[in-house]
Amino acid sequence: MLRCLSRSWHPFLLSLIVALLLLSATSYANEEEADTGQEAAPLTLDTDISVPDEFWRSEESISEDEAPTMALTPAPPLEPPPVKHVTLMLDWYLSPQHAALLIAQERGLYAAQGLEVEIQSPADPSIAIKLLSAGEVDLALTRQPLLHLHAHSGAPITRIATLIETSLTAVVVMGAEQPETENTLAGLHYGYTTGAGRDLTIPRLVPRSVQQTDDFTTPLNLHFDPIRAMREGQIDAVADGFYHSLPQQLATEGINTHVIRFDELDIPRYDGLVVLANSDTLVRRADTWSRFVLALEQATHWIIDNPDDAWALMINAHPVLDNDINTNAWEDILRRMALSPAALDSRRYAGFETFLHQTGLTDATLPVSRLAVDPHAL
């Protein structure tokens, strides 16, 4: 019974509260009108509004202490990220085959990756890998066969990029081209500039049976000066000469030559120019090498899209490149540049390891991961 009575009173009490609130609001409004003595007019767009003087302050009345400091004091400049200095040693003197390295530098692509790359030319090309192994330089250039041979000798080196995807060297033979036989080639006196020419190429030209005869003349170490050796008649052929430049250079000396490519000697194809890093610090510096190779890739694509501008930029920055021999070689070099320098052809490296082992130049085969990596995958 009590619960029912309580429920019936709820609506009545709610109505009473609402009525009292309305009565109070009406009374308050009447009091405001009585104070002003007139009825407040509604505001319109034409209504005049006066702002009390205390809301206005002259510029002179504002002290410097009250001025907003953020507007007067510029924000401190952002600290640029630290630039990593990288030293790179070439395989020999500057040539068009180094285009990606040079263009990346001239177009500021290294700097965009937070790198400062110092390119050095060796006084003796044989020291580049030695300096890299000793940590005296950060990167070095070489040919793929030399990478394999030095790695088997224990050098802590690993390929991180490819600049040129085909061989840049060949057998350069003095005299006009003619149908050569095995006996003809075996009877020539050869010179070489690298261990790969001595150990890899010459045995394909001169069989072991010929090398064991009394008439065999020991190949001559040219110390990277094949022109003088040929001019002076010390040799008949260079086992590993740069075929883009050496024949033309010898032609200016009045020496006629012809070229025998390595595929004619059943030597597997290999990367003609690669960038090496020290394998002992490879993982620790993986981010740096990834950014370095990215700059090379951007440079290569720009070169392919703008070959004439690229050539003009290079010879302007390095006038030593501006000669007829390099100009004539430029178009052929373009066709051999690696569009994806980081990309690793594992089949090619594994196949070359097998070839070296089968020819008796190595005692075992190294895994590809010991020889070459994709720096973006580290």
CATH of the domain at 204: 3.40.190.10
- Whether the CB-CB separation of 303 and 334 falls below 8 Å is answered with yes
Last residue of a domain, one of 224, 249, 265: 265
Threshold 0.75, pTM exceeds:
yes
Does 307 fall in a domain? Answer: yes
Does 153 fall in a domain? Answer: yes
Does 313 fall in a domain? Answer: yes
343 and 288 housed in the same domain: yes
Last residue of a domain, one of 239, 265, 291: 265
287 and 138 housed in the same domain: yes
Which domain does 232 fall in, by range?
169-265
253 and 104 housed in the same domain: no
Last residue of a domain, one of 204, 231, 265: 265
The order of strands in the sheet holding 273-278 is 115-120, 84-89, 139-142, 273-278, 157-164
The order of strands in the sheet holding 257-260 is 220-221, 190-192, 237-242, 169-174, 257-260
Mean pLDDT computed over 136-163: 98
Q: Three-state DSSP class for 173? A: strand
Per-residue pLDDT, 337: 98
For the stretch 99-148, pLDDT in tens is: 999 999 999 999 999 999 999 999 888 899 999 999 999 999 999 999 99
Does 139 fall in a domain? Answer: yes
Does 14 fall in a domain? Answer: no
**Quick one: tokens of 353?**
């390891």
129 and 255 housed in the same domain: no
DSSP string, 133-165: HTTSSSEEEE-HHHHHHHHHTT--EEEEEEEES
| Percentage of the chain lying above the pLDDT 70 cut | 79
247 and 282 housed in the same domain: no
146 and 282 housed in the same domain: yes
Does 327 fall in a domain? Answer: yes
Calpha distance 232→237 (Å, rounded): 12
260 and 307 housed in the same domain: no
Say which residues have a Cβ less than 8 Å from residue 138's Cβ, sequence separation at least 6. 86, 87, 88, 132, 277, 278, 285
Instruction: List Cα–Cα distances, 83 to 38, 79, 110, 194, 200, in angstroms.
Output: 77, 12, 10, 36, 41
- Number of domains observed in the structure of the chain: 2
210 and 352 housed in the same domain: no
Does 136 fall in a domain? Answer: yes
Calpha distance 235→265 (Å, rounded): 20
194 and 337 housed in the same domain: no
Per-residue pLDDT, 79: 63
215 and 308 housed in the same domain: no
Per-residue pLDDT, 323: 96
Does 141 fall in a domain? Answer: yes
Q: Which amino acid is present at 375?
A: P
For the stretch 267-289, pLDDT in tens is: 999 999 999 999 999 999 999 99
194 and 257 housed in the same domain: yes
320 and 179 housed in the same domain: no
Altogether, the residues listed in the chain come to a count of 378
